[in-house]
């Protein structure tokens, strides 16, 4: 069984730990560099990407995260986690930095004020058995991607799920739905990389 960490600086850590356990992965929270070193893959949860970025610096995690992602550790980011995996943010708060790993430009809070939170069915490439129910909460979208990036899903004409090598990200939160297929897909990616 691969050991999958959930970055536990801020955000909906517990929901991801539960979803991973239900997808038959062994999961544990990760806050420190030595905890990161012990896992085979990492989930970066939803939450608030500016705060997460600041806490990653405070905990001495930004550089270790960059190094492991660059070295090919499987990583899955949901919502704020997607923002953390972007090479570039269109509208960053001052001082907001990312881990990178996916050659994409993201727009934060992109779906707009009138529609800050909603659920939608999303056809996600690589997930069998019909669309997944996506929960979008002040969600980003992907404005553009580089040639190496595979688009896994679009919603309303905007890119909402991507993969580049061992890095995958979704604008939405599959961990809030009780459907663990996305976490199952990620667990398969971690097994394949080991």
Q: Do the Cβ atoms of 168 and 152 come closer than 8 Å?
A: yes
Instruction: Rule CB under 6 A: say whether 161 interacts with ligand GLN.
Output: no
28 carries a ligand binding annotation: no
- List, as one string, the DSSP characters of 80-136: HHHHHHEEEESSPPTT------EEEEEETTTT-GGGSEEEEEE--TT--SSPEEEEE
- Which residues are marked as active site? 79, 173, 175
Instruction: Select from 43, 56, 83, 142 the one that contacts ligand GLN (CB under 6 A).
Output: 83
Q: Do the Cβ atoms of 160 and 171 come closer than 8 Å?
A: yes
Stretch that binds ligand GLN, among 16-24, 69-77, 79-87, 124-132 (CB under 6 A): 79-87
Stretch that binds ligand GLN, among 33-41, 78-86, 151-159, 186-194 (CB under 6 A): 78-86
Q: How many CB atoms lie within 10 A of CB 146?
A: 11
Q: Which is nearer to ligand GLN, 44 or 152 (CB)?
A: 44
DSSP label at 29? E
47 carries a ligand binding annotation: yes
- Which residue's entry shows tokens 């009780």? 178
Q: Binding site for L-glutamine: residue ranges?
A: 47-49, 108, 137-138
Q: Binding site: residue ranges?
A: 47-49, 108, 137-138
- Enumerate binding residues for ligand GLN (CB under 6 A): 46-49, 79-80, 83, 108-109, 137-138
């Amino acid at each position: 069984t691969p050991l999958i960490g959930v970055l536990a600086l801020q955000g909906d850590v517990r929901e991801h730990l539960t979803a991973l356990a239900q997808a038959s992965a062994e999961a544990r929270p990760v806050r420190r560099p030595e905890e990161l070193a012990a896992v085979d893959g990492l989930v970066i949860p939803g939450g608030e990407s500016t705060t997460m970025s600041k806490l990653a610096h405070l905990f001495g995690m930004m550089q270790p995260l960059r190094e492991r992602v660059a070295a090919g550790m499987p990583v899955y980011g949901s919502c704020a986690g997607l923002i953390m995996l972007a090479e570039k943010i269109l509208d960053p708060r001052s001082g907001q930095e990312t881990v990178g790993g996916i050659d994409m430009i993201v727009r934060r809070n992109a779906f707009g004020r009138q529609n800050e939170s909603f659920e939608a069915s999303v056809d996600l490439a690589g997930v069998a058995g019909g669309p997944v129910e996506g929960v979008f909460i002040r969600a980003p979208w992907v404005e553009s991607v580089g040639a190496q990036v595979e688009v896994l899903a679009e919603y309303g004409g905007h890119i909402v799920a991507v993969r580049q090598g061992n890095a995958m990200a979704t604008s939405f939160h599959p961990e809030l739905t009780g459907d663990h297929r996305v976490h199952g897909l990620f667990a398969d990616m971690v097994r394949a990389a080991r």
